[in-house]
């Protein structure tokens, strides 16, 4: 029984505000059994998210339902093991995919959207199609921005979008990709925006909208931020450290309050 004269431990209050592992308690010199089992389960979920197969037919079917034409490509990483051991291969298109992509060009475009598996296929399966749907809705409002190409890429790293965008002649590319799984969020999706994409672009030349998942940034809010960055990036012809995200100043009052989906 706690002594009412003693002050409350501030770490106990933190647990109501964060999924971080604080104030877990102890059993002798170790963690309590429940805390240890919870850690083991979350670690297993994170590992599963990395190694799970990418269900491209399911994703393409979801995108087809949105009425967008989809091109499927893959990187030079031949399998998941190759992808994890050789990050450089995930940044380069397979030659056959590059040729197929080049044949799909009808005219240069303002914006191409690439969806890559990244380090969490669970994130892509759970959130990518919904974010694309909401993004298309946001981009159709006001000064509309057309999405001429949607590409699904297997074995993808973020920089793969640079080569894809360059082949398509896109002024800007948005790469939606599974982020590195954490112990509290194995299904977090990230969005990376690059103006004038081409191989050799650095991370400093990209904007990132991250932590898109059910306990993080909602699909609606993520789409709003991405659409704002797309419009501003195209208008100013920049992305990255030169383009500050000021979308919160223009966000509708209720944004982010609706349930995901």
> E-strand spans in the chain?
70-74, 109-116, 147-154, 170-178, 189-195, 206-212
C-alpha 95: how far from chain center: 25
Q: Which CATH number belongs to the domain containing residue 230 in this structure? A: 3.40.50.11240
109 is in an annotated binding site: no
Q: What is the pLDDT of residues 179-235, one digit of tens each?
A: 998 877 889 999 999 999 999 999 999 999 999 998 899 999 999 999 999 999 999
Rounded to whole angstroms, the Cα distance separating 15 from 24 reads 9
C-alpha 63: how far from chain center: 16
Q: Is residue 204 part of a domain?
A: yes
Does residue 28 surpass a pLDDT of 70? yes
Rounded to whole angstroms, the Cα distance separating 90 from 216 reads 27
Domain count across the chain = 1
Q: Is residue 184 part of a domain?
A: yes
Q: Is residue 207 part of a domain?
A: yes
Q: Which is nearest to 233 in space by CA: 149, 114, 110?
A: 110
221 is in an annotated binding site: no
Structural tokens at position 168: 């398509």
Q: Is residue 146 part of a domain?
A: yes
Q: Is residue 21 part of a domain?
A: no
The whole-number pLDDT of residue 8 equals: 57
- In the sheet with 147-154, reading across from the earlier edge strand, the strands are 70-74, 147-154, 109-116, 170-178, 189-195, 206-212
pTM to 2 decimal places:
0.85
Q: Which is nearest to 208 in space by CA: 87, 118, 74?
A: 118
């Amino acid at each position: 029984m706690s002594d009412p004269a003693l002050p409350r431990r501030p770490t106990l209050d933190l647990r109501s505000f964060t999924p971080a592992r604080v104030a877990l308690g102890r059993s002798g010199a170790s963690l309590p059994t429940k805390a240890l089992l919870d850690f083991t389960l979350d670690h297993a979920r994170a590992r599963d998210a990395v190694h799970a197969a990418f269900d491209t037919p399911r994703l393409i079917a979801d995108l087809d339902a949105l009425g967008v034409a989809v091109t499927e490509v893959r990187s030079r990483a031949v399998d998941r093991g190759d992808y994890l051991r050789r990050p450089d291969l995930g940044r380069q298109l397979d030659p056959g995919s590059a040729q197929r992509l080049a044949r799909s060009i009808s005219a240069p475009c303002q914006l191409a959207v690439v969806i890559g598996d990244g380090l969490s296929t669970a994130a892509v399966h759970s959130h990518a199609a919904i974010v694309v749907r909401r993004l298309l809705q946001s981009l159709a409002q006001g000064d509309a921005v057309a999405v001429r190409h949607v590409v699904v890429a297997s074995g993808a790293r973020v920089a793969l979008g640079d080569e894809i965008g360059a082949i398509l002649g896109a002024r800007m590319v948005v790469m939606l990709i599974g982020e590195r799984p954490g112990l509290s969020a194995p299904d977090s999706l990230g969005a990376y925006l690059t103006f004038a994409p081409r191989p050799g672009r650095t991370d400093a030349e990209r904007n990132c909208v991250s932590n898109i998942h059910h306990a993080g940034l909602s699909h609606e809010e993520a789409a709003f931020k991405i659409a704002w960055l797309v419009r501003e990036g195209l208008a100013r012809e920049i992305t990255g450290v030169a383009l500050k995200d000021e979308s919160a100043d223009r966000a509708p009052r209720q944004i982010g309050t609706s349930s995901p989906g």
